[in-house]
A and B are shown apart, each in its own frame.
Chain A
């Protein structure tokens, strides 16, 4: 994808992510927020937070299963929008629903399991959002960053639990989300298990760097992704994509810690340069 293509795609998705909020604003303007507006707004925001979180989590499995990698450039964007909607959901609870009745909210957080897990999920999302910048990837090191960001699955599980617990009997939606999350998590686990097996086999066979690494240039999607995302997901790609990856080897160098001093992006020093790949080969 060209740079212009990426910018266009991201702009479009950015706009699309704001549509639910715009619709809410429109319904508020036309007085169409049902007889219980606060509940309706809280519900709607929470739902969209959940949907966007699942969407952001679907991108890696999409690549693993179907080999479609380009949507990965949207992962951070979707993740941050999920955080945005979940934060609004929380703010509505604090401001409109309970009007800063801290004592009651505090008691609820401790006493009501669905609120406990909801607030925990939000706390995790805050952590992830705060470390979502390319600068943080660099500071933490790609490997640690990647590990940290696996927490997103914990947050998603807590989010689904939150929804299942609060929903009344007969609501199907939370179970749909639970099923989707289970599939996504299953794909990631299967990928991890497969990668682990392949790596072990590779180690036992004593494969060396030279004999296994292919010299094909990285696929375009990876280039695009690593450039935009700061490359945190690069290594899993190599590991899980099959036996042709450089397995059982020193991991591909982490971004920001590229041996030999990777050149940085000409206009954005925090951002790794595409030249790394040339050098990496």
Chain B
């Protein structure tokens, strides 16, 4: 039987009133900003319940079979080294990040480079909700309803030239907004990473319909701790490949020097595709703990997206290109 029951409501239907309320908050926020200009709030980010709703049509093609992780877990258990190495740090400290105003520069081997304001990005293509599995390289996973549109929509807009082979993403570099970017006592990075955080994809990976330019989750704008205001989500790769709080996208001809591959080249490669039989040098990747579940699960090839992305790597030795 193919009669599917319509969902009781859609996120797009509930949002109007929230948006309306959000106008007031924006006005209040603007007033506060006028009184205390440029002062980032040290401490926790705004509670998720107060985030603006973001209308988006669920895309049934990309609805993961498992039910989404609790929003409390997805917003309190994060790896976001710009706030600190502990997973509680982002939810504790992300108040310093100011996701508005925000601009993203897209440049490099493109015919039409440009600087996109976040409001412009939000309107660049229809927003859709996609429920993806997220597999962290640390062997845990979540299922998250993201909001965004294919990264390819933005890339097509800037028209990559024939020289463009890779796409490089840069996260904001601002120690005032990202406390862990401050230098340690001897000028060393306290986290072991070089800032800004750099990630990258091959151009064909970036153009793949699964690669999502993401501006929201759980029906709301992205919380600071999850990479506000704009990030990418590449569900068939380990989570660290999905750069957060992006300010610059460069189309380049050489494979980018990505942050983790630079910090620990033996442990984190450029590709970092989810692969149950290519172990991390220190631990197995065969199983994972789904946050909220008790027993470990088997990790799936390409995080369960093998039928869609395996062809990208035809003929490649994924053990070598880890």
**A interface list, Cβ under 8 A from B:** 34-36, 38-39, 96-99, 101, 104, 107-108, 111-114, 165-166, 168-171
Contacts and interface: CB of A to CB of B under 8 A. Distances in A.
A169 B289 contact: no
A175 to B, nearest CB: 12
B169 interface: no
Interface stretch (B99-107, B145-153, B279-287, B299-307): B279-287
A169 B85 contact: yes
Q: Which 3 residue pairs are nearest across A and B when measured between Cβ atoms?
A: A35-B77, A169-B192, A35-B73
9 contacts: A35-B70, A35-B292, A39-B140, A104-B287, A111-B284, A166-B283, A168-B138, A169-B192, A170-B192
Interface of B: 70, 72-74, 76-77, 81, 85, 87-88, 138, 140, 190-193, 263-264, 282-284, 286-287, 289, 291-292, 294-296
Contact of B81 (A39, A108, A170): A170
Most buried by B among A104, A113, A169: A169
Nearest to A96: B294
Residue among A35, A99, A170 with the most chain B CB within 10 A? A35
Nearest to A168: B85
Contacts of B294: 38, 96
B289 A108 contact: no
Secondary structure call for the B interface = loop
B282 A35 contact: no
A118 to B, nearest CB: 12
A35 B79 CA distance: 13
Contact of B282 (A34, A97, A99, A165): A165
Contacts of B284: 104, 107-108, 111-112
A36 B295 contact: no
B76 A170 contact: no
B72 A170 contact: no
B282 A38 contact: no
A252 to B, nearest CB: 48
B85 A170 contact: yes
A98 B289 CA distance: 10
A22 to B, nearest CB: 21
A211 B282 CA distance: 59
A107 to B, nearest CB: 8
Given A170-B85, A170-B193, A36 B282 contact: no
Contact of A36 (B70, B286, B291): B291
Given A35-B72, A112-B282, A169 B264 contact: yes
B193 A35 contact: no
A183 B191 CA distance: 25
A49 to B, nearest CB: 20
Contact of B296 (A35, A98, A165, A168): A98
A89 B49 CA distance: 36
B193 A36 contact: no
Nearest to B88: A34
A39 B264 CA distance: 23
A36 B77 contact: yes
B87 A169 contact: no
A202 to B, nearest CB: 46
Given A35-B76, A112-B284, A170-B190, 19 more contacts: A34-B76, A34-B87, A34-B88, A35-B70, A35-B72, A35-B73, A36-B291, A38-B289, A38-B294, A98-B296, A104-B287, A114-B282, A166-B282, A166-B283, A169-B192, A169-B263, A170-B85, A170-B192, A171-B85
